[in-house]
Structure 1
Amino acid sequence: MKGPATWSELETEMKHWVYVAAIGASLASPVAAQELSEERIKELALEAILENPQIVMDAVAILREREAEAQVASAAETLANQRDLLERDENAPVLGNPDGDVTVIEFFDYNCPYCRRAKPTIEGLIAADPNVRVVFREFPILGDDSVLAARAALAARAQGMYEEFHWALMALSGRINEAQIMQTADDLGLDVAQLEADMQSDAVTMHIETSLSLAQSLGISGTPSFVVGETILPGLVDQARLEELVAQERSDG
């Protein structure tokens, strides 16, 4: 399936419209359209665009519409064909009930203030529903410090400390850096030397790469973002809304 349109495709679309404009402008000319030189086509196109600037806006609008349609199709295909990867990836941390009947997936970044505000929402959801699973997808898009935090949290799984480390990092204020990340690990009693080694593991790298790939195919570009069943929720969501979607997914079976 063709992916979302890119700005290189916009250029192609624009050239198409320019050519159409040039051919249209040439109809009144005794010179056959197929005999026009590229330079003359550009001249005629410029004349047509100057006379009707809406040509450019129409080309942009068409591309954006195609991009939106392609993104919706891409997201639907991912939800249909990559459900196991989204919900049952063994390389993704799971909180709540690992055997729960409904899965909530969160894409997040430790330096995202809205992700931090979502912390009590996720904690509340887990506390209120003993049969929900929450899959965490580390999605570090806010710089190198975010990547370090994601790698450190994922590496903590090898020491059985992901959950504690995750909540501790989410509880920090301001932009976190490497010193704070490692200090937090040390405060929790993690073996920091082992953590630093595990941060470079293939499993850690694969998790982040998979998160980026899934996010792109789902049209997720910001944090936090949630997936429940067929629903993709960008941005901060309150607990009541998540509980509503979980109940709906449960009733749908």
Structure 2
Amino acid sequence: MIDRRKLIIWGGIAIAAPLVAHTAMSQSRSSPPTPDEVYRDPDIPVLGNPDGDVTIVSFFDYNCPFCKGDYPVLKDVARRDGNVRLIKKDRPILTEASRHASRLVLAAAGTPDYEAGMDAIMLEQGRLSIEEIDAALRAAGLDVDVMSSRYDQNSEQVEALFDRNNRQTLGLRLTGTPGYAIGRKLVAGSYDAPSFEEAIKLARDSGDRF
């Protein structure tokens, strides 16, 4: 668990969050988003249990090593708990390849290719180029040309989602990746399994399940 913390204000509530693991380029702050905007965006698929009583929102970049390290841990925590809604919010801020990966996978929302594509890239360690991302997707049995065509058909919706996610992280002062929202708790930086479990319990006990 990360010990250093700062206070983040969300909806008038002071929330303790660890300091950011690394920050994006200097950007202006936005107004804090509402819980519905953070936890209930209809354009983002739900992983884990869609009817779960606690929601974890993960702001991530496909080329962020901390995000990649957290990904299997978070999925395993959600699987073992069995009652967690897991929302992955793309924030491709590191490389153009990050944006390429997000475009392809988000365009597959509503199909099995969404989670399969995310797994293929997030479980491939190291910073990937565009060519390496495409190769990872193909190795997982996915058709990159089909995914690219889906993006072309839905590009406005996908790009609007990037903007929405970015404004939310700035409003929450989660200026780098990874960042998490779990109930009223905000976490800036990497988290381990016991910390995720503790945050889930806190959300359940407090009733802040969203």
Q: Which TM bucket (shorter chain)?
A: 0.7 to 0.9
| Runs of 4+ with deviation above 4 angstroms | none
Is contact 1:109-1:140 (8 Å) kept? yes
Written as runs of structure 1 = structure 2, the 5 A alignment for 1:97-176 is 97-176=49-128
State the shift of 1:158 in Å.
Answer: 4.9
How far apart are the structure 2 equivalents of 1:199 and 1:182?
14
Is contact 1:105-1:226 (8 Å) kept? yes
Which residue does 2:176 correspond to in 1? Answer: 222
Report the AA paired with residue 104 of structure 2. A
Which residue does 1:238 correspond to in 2? Answer: 192
How far apart are the structure 2 equivalents of 1:216 and 1:147?
18
User: Which runs of no fewer than 5 residues in structure 2 stay unpaired?
Assistant: 1-6, 13-30
How far apart are the structure 2 equivalents of 1:228 and 1:119?
15
Compare the two structures and name the one with the higher strand fraction.
2
Written as runs of structure 1 = structure 2, the 5 A alignment for 1:63-102 is 72-73=8-9, 75-76=10-11, 82-102=34-54
Q: Secondary structure at the match of 1:227?
A: strand
Identical-pair percentage = 33
The answer to which of 114-123 and 198-207 deviates more is 198-207
How far apart are the structure 2 equivalents of 1:119 and 1:147?
18
RMSD: 2.0
TM-score by length of 2: 0.79
Find out whether 1:203 has 2:157 as its counterpart: yes
Q: Secondary structure at the match of 1:122?
A: helix
Is contact 2:121-2:137 (8 Å) kept? no
Is contact 1:159-1:190 (8 Å) kept? no
Structure of larger gyration radius: 1
How far apart are the structure 2 equivalents of 1:230 and 1:158?
28
Is contact 1:92-1:135 (8 Å) kept? yes
Compare the two structures and name the one with the higher helix fraction.
1
Written as runs of structure 1 = structure 2, the 5 A alignment for 1:38-77 is 72-73=8-9, 75-76=10-11
User: Which runs of no fewer than 5 residues in structure 1 stay unpaired?
Assistant: 1-70
Distance 1:159 1:248, change over 3 A: closer
State the shift of 1:72 in Å.
Answer: 4.1
Is contact 1:152-1:181 (8 Å) kept? no
How far apart are the structure 2 equivalents of 1:141 and 1:192?
22
Kindly tell me the number of residue pairs found equivalent between the two proteins: 182
**Higher relative contact order at CA 8 Å, sep ≥6: structure 1 or structure 2?**
2
TM-score by length of 1: 0.67
Report the AA paired with residue 239 of structure 1. A
Which residue does 2:206 correspond to in 1? Answer: 252
